Structure 1
Amino acid sequence: MVILAKRIFTGYEWLVDQQILVHQGRIHQIKPVEGELEGSGFICAGFIDLQVYGGCERLFSNHPTVDSIEKTFDEHHKTGTTQFQITLNCSPKETMWKAIDACKSYLSRGGKGLVGLHLEGPFFNPIRKGAHKEEFVQAPSVEFIKEIVDRAGDLPIYMTIAPEMFSEEALDYILKSPIMVSLGHSDASIEQANLALSKGAKRITHLFNAMSQWQSRALGLVGASFSSDAWTSIIVDGLHCDFRSVKLAKELKKHRLFLITDAVTHDISGPYLFDKKDGKFTNESGTLSGSALTMEQAVQNCVNEVGIDVEEAIRMATLYPAQVADLDQDLGTVEEGKRACLLYMSDDLKVQQVWLDGEPLMD
């Protein structure tokens, strides 16, 4: 298969008048064409969303099934997401085990796009629970963490935790486990956060939201992010963060800031009741609950509202999340040998075509 491209943004540089040769789902070769190609727009790597809760009115937290994962891919690939971590709200053990089993089953059937399970909870600080159910918050223990690891097997698990809720033994155990730990839904002091970072935590979840804030005499988890090289996700929808806050965060975090959607879907059929009104999702108490964002919109907002260069905005949705989740050997850039998960975007940053392992997904 050959994909012709007037322009390619590889993740590092622009190439002009090129052809991408795809073989067995991977980029076999990128080479110039003879002469000049007509057209506009450009090719880039597919978006990677490490925090998305569902799609097509099927919230994974209410329905931890293969069908919910399929519906999430069906909705979000249309706006450029080729890979995603399905995300489970803070939930009881039984729901967690169903979620793990659903992910394994989806992958065993050749399900598209899934690169892991993001457990957002249950090891939260209730003070910073956000829209999550307080009755589902649970205390961390070595035994509980071991059970998660054992049940997951080779399924990649990414987990948001409040470090101040852990004993020293439990914190050490989870940080040495295969779980990709991210700090969030936390009221940690900067000292507590820095301790977890010094022990090996490398990530922080949705900057500014559901965490201890940066104050003059108490820097909190926000301050820990700004004063460290921890990878930090951010929701660039103008609701979870003012665009001016995103601009400041980008200036401080530089290439360690990456995009997530935190996207939910309209679903009032289970314990999590998310209803969309006036362009935003809230729960039954009126608390902002996830987003209505797409990765396409997040990139557009970075460029048009925050003033981030196109190249860097694309990296925030491709290369950086690939690095965060240890996927960059196969994904995140347009390079020979990598999977042919690609987007054709218009010059105004609208997704026109999506390829998953070389297979076009849009008419």
Structure 2
Amino acid sequence: MSLFAFKNARIFTGLEFIDHQYLLTDGKTIIGIQENAPEGAQVIDCSDSIIAPGLIELQVYGGKGALFTTEPTPETIQKTYEEHLKGGTTHFQITYHTGPLSGMLAAIQACRSYRQQGGAGLVGLHLEGPYFNPVKKGAHLLSYIRKATIAELTALVEAADDLPLYLTLAPEEADPEVLEWLLSSPILLSAGHSNATYTEAIQAFDRGIGLVTHLFNAMSPFNSREPGLLGATLDSSVRASIIADGIHVDFASVRIAKKMMGDRLFLITDAVTEDTRGEYRFTINPERRRFEDENGTLSGSSLTLIEAVKNCVNEVGIPLEEALRMASLYPAQIIGKDHTLGRLGAGYEASFILFDQNFQMKGYHTEGKFTRI
């Protein structure tokens, strides 16, 4: 067994920082953290760096000019992995926009093929839509928004087989029998693109929906006489993702939500890429520093997860260790992978990142290989 010892870095385990020790791996698995390097270990100097668990992205749409919705192929997934790995993401859910059933099935097949070919990092497929409230469609195409049916959902689950599916839907738009079917299915549900009232949202949470997609965005807002989905999320025990880019959500709003939600709030990028080849056409608006569709609608970020962590620390005032958990441990818990991901400890997967005090990426360790940037 080949041993590797990483030295001269602050090691964040997912729980605490450890200084002046070695992180030991056998390539793909973490052996432990200790004061000395074992005899025969290959020592890797990580001076002036922080080592932290690899970041986990549950909502990303593409990379390197290829949007997964437009081109649902293993090659697009690989491009997304390569681009976002440089931003600290070692594991991710590729995401598919609101579209036809045929497109959703193609997305599932692409993910399954990618995994069968040994593709790295993919932990599942996020279907954002098509079961939305039309008034909260955001940049999604109205023509594809529809009511969920058990027949269509059954086709998705059967096609997915062992591929994890994560579905964002508007709970108020789902018929009771459909929602009951979904809650008993393998699909992980998240409420979003919803105009639910506070009561409708709380009822959905009480029935079993435990997640909310991109807090504040594309949802019924908090008002004094109707707290909406936002108010219900803050006033419950569900977890919610948030886009901490200062564009989708003001940093003060992130700070307020964090104070109220604590470890229930986690980070996503909702990142797209500049691609105008298909029905979803996104370009960067340099003046407004955001991606927009043809109508000028905010349509996704250009954020990386390490940038989101940086923003949480520098702009929101969240301690570094907690900001890192928001992008690693908490997403791992949500997808049921916290026994292998989100922490650095004996028996965990050796997926971790290196960055400096300015949040510049210095390297990453994935699939048994260390790469310097």
Runs of 5+ consecutive residues of structure 1 not aligned to the other structure? none
Match of 2:232 among 221, 224, 234: 224
1:60 match: 68
Deviations 1:171-222 (A, max 9, x none): 0110111101000000011111111111111100000000000100101110
Within a 5 Å distance, the mapping from 1:152-163 to structure 2 comes to 152-163=160-171
Within a 5 Å distance, the mapping from 1:280-319 to structure 2 comes to 280-319=290-329
TM-score between the two structures when normalised by the length of structure 2: 0.95
Q: Specify the code of the residue in structure 1 equivalent to 2:5.
A: V
Give distance in 2, aligned partners of 1:209 and 1:3.
41
Give distance in 2, aligned partners of 1:42 and 1:225.
33
2:48 match: 40
1:69 match: 77
Tell me the CA shift for residue 38 of structure 1: 8.4
Tell me the CA shift for residue 6 of structure 1: 2.7
Q: Structure 1 residue runs of 4+, over 6 Å off?
A: none
Q: Specify the code of the residue in structure 1 equivalent to 2:321.
A: E
Conserved? CA contact 2:216–2:230, under 8 Å = yes
SS in structure 1 of the partner of residue 343 of structure 2: coil
1:329 match: 339
Tell me the CA shift for residue 3 of structure 1: 2.0
Within a 5 Å distance, the mapping from 1:203-282 to structure 2 comes to 203-278=211-286, 279-282=289-292
The size of the alignment, in residue pairs, is 361
Deviations 1:72-113 (A, max 9, x none): 011000010000000001011110000000000000011011
1:93 match: 101
Give distance in 1, aligned partners of 2:351 and 2:243.
23
Give distance in 2, aligned partners of 1:152 and 1:125.
25
Q: Specify the code of the residue in structure 1 equivalent to 2:11.
A: I
CA RMSD of superposed structures (Å)? 1.2
Conserved? CA contact 1:53–1:86, under 8 Å = yes
SS in structure 2 of the partner of residue 193 of structure 1: helix
Summarize the Cα distance change of 1:162–1:79 in structure 2 as closer, same or farther, 3 Å threshold. Answer: same
Give distance in 2, aligned partners of 1:272 and 1:344.
35
Deviations 1:16-71 (A, max 9, x none): 1222221251102221127xx88322111010010000000000010011111010
Within a 5 Å distance, the mapping from 1:96-175 to structure 2 comes to 96-175=104-183
Give distance in 1, aligned partners of 2:77 and 2:367.
19
Give distance in 2, aligned partners of 1:107 and 1:24.
20
SS in structure 1 of the partner of residue 47 of structure 2: coil
TM-score between the two structures when normalised by the length of structure 1: 0.97
Match of 1:194 among 195, 198, 202: 202
Conserved? CA contact 1:157–1:180, under 8 Å = yes
